[in-house]
A and B are shown apart, each in its own frame.
Chain A
Amino acid sequence: MSFIPGQPVTAVVQRIEIHKLREREHLILGFSIGGGIDQDPMQNPYSEDKTDKGIYVTKVTPGGPAEAAGLKMGDKIMQVNGWDMTMVTHDQARKRLTKKNEDVVRLLMTRKSLEEAVKCSMGGYANR
């Protein structure tokens, strides 16, 4: 999840599709985000690298659509519906997630355990 400035970011990502839930006149996804390039990355409890200004999932509403789709607390969101989320402000991230004309949000997210799982399995292949 850490990045080297100037190099392309590589990560093992998981695709998650969340269907928005209509609650009165709002469409909600059921999670909270934190982070952004205008925010203080040192206060992010989920990031491995404290200079990472990406968007992270800080809370997942129990029983909400995000939880049903498999989103977990601490996940870093890399893309939302094709839009990049690694270099956006907090407000831009919010806007991309809450577009009124979209019912479904397809996001690419990553987490540490994914990387490790892949490494383990790759390591198994490398030994062969």
Chain B
Amino acid sequence: MDTESTHSGYSYHSSRSGRSNRHGERHKASSSKDSSRSERSVVLNPPDTPSHNSHNSPNSHSSPVQNGGEPLPGEAVPEEPDPGDDAQDDNWGETTTAVTGTSELSLSQEEVVGLGKSPEDRARTCRRYLPLALGLLVGLLVLATPLAFLLLPVVLWPDQLQVCGAACEGLFLSLSFKLLILLVAVWALFLRPSRAGLPRVCAYRGFLATLTLLLTMSYWLFYGDEDYHGIAQFAVSLVDSLLFVHYLAVVLLELRQLQSCFSVCVMRSTDGETRYYNLGRLRDFPLHNPALLSASKLRTDKQLAGLKVYNDNSAHNELYYEEAEHDRRVRKRRARLVVAVEEAFTHVRRMKKEDERATPADILEVREAALAIFPSMARALQKYLRTTRRQHCHSMDSIQKHLAFCLVNNMSPKAFLEAYLAPGPTLQYGPERWMADQWTLVSDASVTGGLKEGTEFLLRCLDFSLAVTVKDIPYLRLAEEFVDPKSHKFTLLLQSETSV
């Protein structure tokens, strides 16, 4: 059964973009085996849709192509979801097994990747890997210099060389091992892909790089033609110095930041979600804590659009009843969802020995099993996600993948549901959902200063901003007091009443 020759990958998102010619079509399931697919089709917004017209900014965030160098996943069509989405698109949950052909609007993956290499994306990729490249450069220099010290006399003036005895052998051995240790240490400390692109150079790293270069240059300056034993000792002393610089790097970059001395309060502007973090001593303003950027769960402010404003007299009442009604609806949908999922899970179980004799048509692979039980719970899940306004976070494909994952690992229905009942951190939704990778630091204090008590600034991205407040962790004065265990004595406090 050829269900995967060509197919389109939609998200629930894109199908709501208002294209009327899509409404009649049956929307499909994703394929079962990703690796066997040679071609993936991706649907792009045609230019005349209202969501595309509203994002006319030159930067590429609003375009369907997100990151230049990376192939588009099947459902990466980010748009602003419109508020009144409850009425549209009931087809999502109803069918999962029909496969559509490609439409005239879809492109193949190669074309899409070719589209992605716009100049600004190239520049951004450059900037992202620049520190890594610089680190590699310095590392190569570090490796090459001692070897050059040793090899140059042999290459350039071999006639003046005296033969060096066993002492040199020892020096060569120690040099090679120290070089090896230094290389591993440099790789461990510096050659790590950075998690965030920061607007400023890390002062410590700059200082260390400068120090290393200065050290190497001064050694080159004093490199003279002494006897070979002296040259070998010279090279070994260089490697020793480099090792000490590396120790300094460990202390500056890693150990000093460990001690937390600031408590940072981050509040999201759209809905007030607040998180608290303890951070270490940071000389540079950019925050070295990537967890800070991925803390908040991504909910758009259409949540706020759902609240209608009445005149002052009945405002309280209306708000109260509306919220009560909403809670009731959420609970009702949640109950139905839990029942539907539990029932769906009873329909499938792992194949036992005696089932092997059953007809082959009844034996299913994981993805097929997931696809088979998905329709019975899809509607309830869709309704629940709509009521809690989280339907844009989970595409159909991701739900089926999660279901297959749960089936393979023998998870209970409740475990499967946890991902949808409890909103998790943003990272769980995958990079294509987390639309904010471009952050701006906004502050009315000096942006070059370090963190202090009472610092307040704003981390702004496209959809919302995070207000960050920094508080000092208080200095605790700890005193000692020894309590003798024998001193724990008690008396009874009675108040009896006796009648006489």
A-side interface residues toward B, CB under 8 Å? 28-29, 31-36, 38-40, 42-44, 58-59, 61, 90, 94, 97-98
Sampled A-B contacts (16; CB under 8 Å): A28-B500, A29-B500, A32-B497, A32-B499, A32-B500, A33-B498, A34-B496, A34-B497, A34-B498, A35-B495, A36-B496, A39-B493, A39-B494, A42-B493, A59-B499, A61-B499
A39-B496 in contact (CB<8A): yes
Smallest CB gap from B494: residue in A: A39
* Contact partner, A98, options B493, B496, B500, Cβ 8 Å: B500
Q: Is the CB of B495 within 8 A of A43?
A: yes
Is B493 a contact of A58 with CB atoms below 8 Å? Answer: no
Q: Which of B448-500 contact A (CB under 8 A)?
A: 493-500
Asked if A39 and B495 make an inter-chain contact with CB atoms under 8 angstroms apart, the answer reads: yes
* In-complex Cβ contact of B494 among A29, A33, A38 (8 A): A38
Which of A33, A42, A44 is B500 in contact with, Cβ under 8 Å? A33
| Chain B residues packing against A (C-beta within 8 Å) | 493-500
Neighbouring A residues of B498 by C-beta, 8 Å: 32-34, 90, 94
CB closest residue in chain A, given B496: A90
In the complex the two chains form, is A94's CB within 8 Å of B493's CB? no
Most buried by B among A33, A42, A44: A33
Using Cβ atoms and an 8 Å threshold, which residues of chain A touch B499? Answer: 28, 31-33, 59, 61
Neighbouring B residues of A94 by C-beta, 8 Å: 498, 500
In the complex, which residues of chain A have a beta carbon less than 8 angstroms from the beta carbon of B500?
28-29, 31-33, 94, 97-98
**Closest residue on chain B to residue A26 by CB atoms:** B500
Q: A97 to chain B: which residues have CB within 8 Å?
A: 500
**Seed contacts A33-B497, A39-B493, A39-B494; 5 additional CB < 8 Å A-B pairs:** A34-B496, A38-B494, A39-B496, A43-B495, A61-B499
A88 CA to B499 CA, complexed, in Å: 17
Complex Cα spacing A34 to B498, Å: 7
A59 contacts across to B, CB distance below 8 A: 497, 499
B497 proximity list for chain A (CB < 8 A): 32-34, 58-59
Whole-angstrom distance between the Cβ of B428 and the nearest chain A Cβ: 57
Q: What A residues does B495 contact at CB under 8 A? A: 34-35, 39-40, 43-44
Most buried by A among B498, B499, B500: B500
Task: Report B-chain residues with C-beta under 8 Å of the C-beta of A38.
Answer: 494
A34–B493 Cα distance when bound, in Å, is 13
Q: How far is the CA of A33 from the CA of B495 in the complex (A)?
A: 10
CA of A107 to CA of B160, assembled, Å: 126
CB nearest to A41 among chain B residues: B495
| A39 and B494 alpha carbons, distance in the complex (Å) | 5
Contacts of B496 in A (CB 8 A): 34, 36, 39, 90
Nearest first, the 6 closest Cβ-Cβ pairs linking A and B are A40-B493, A32-B499, A43-B495, A97-B500, A34-B497, A29-B500
- A contact residues around B493 at 8 Å (CB): 39-40, 42-43
CA A121 to CA B498, docked complex, whole Å: 36
A61 to B500, CA, bound (A): 10
- The residues of B that contact A34 with a CB separation of less than 8 Å are 495-498
Smallest CB–CB gap between B271 and chain A, Å? 51
Bound complex: CA of A28 vs CA of B498, how far in Å?
Answer: 12
Tell me the smallest distance from the CB of A115 to a CB of chain B, in Å: 25
- The interface residues of chain B lying within 8 Å CB-to-CB of A42 are 493
The docked-state distance in angstroms from the alpha carbon of A44 to that of B494 is 11
Question: Taking the nearest CB of chain A, how far is it from the CB of B95, in angstroms?
Answer: 75
Complex Cα gap A39–B499 (Å): 16
CA distance A95 to B497 in the complex (A): 14
Nearest to A44 among chain B residues (CB) is B495
Cα separation A40 to B496 with both chains bound (whole Å): 9
Shortest CB–CB separation between residue B492 and chain A, in angstroms?
Answer: 8
Q: How far is the CA of A33 from the CA of B494 in the complex (A)?
A: 13
- Measured in the bound complex, the distance between the Cα atoms of B496 and A44 in whole Å is 10
Query: Chain B's nearest CB lies how many Å from the CB of A99?
Result: 10
A94 to B498, CA, bound (A): 7
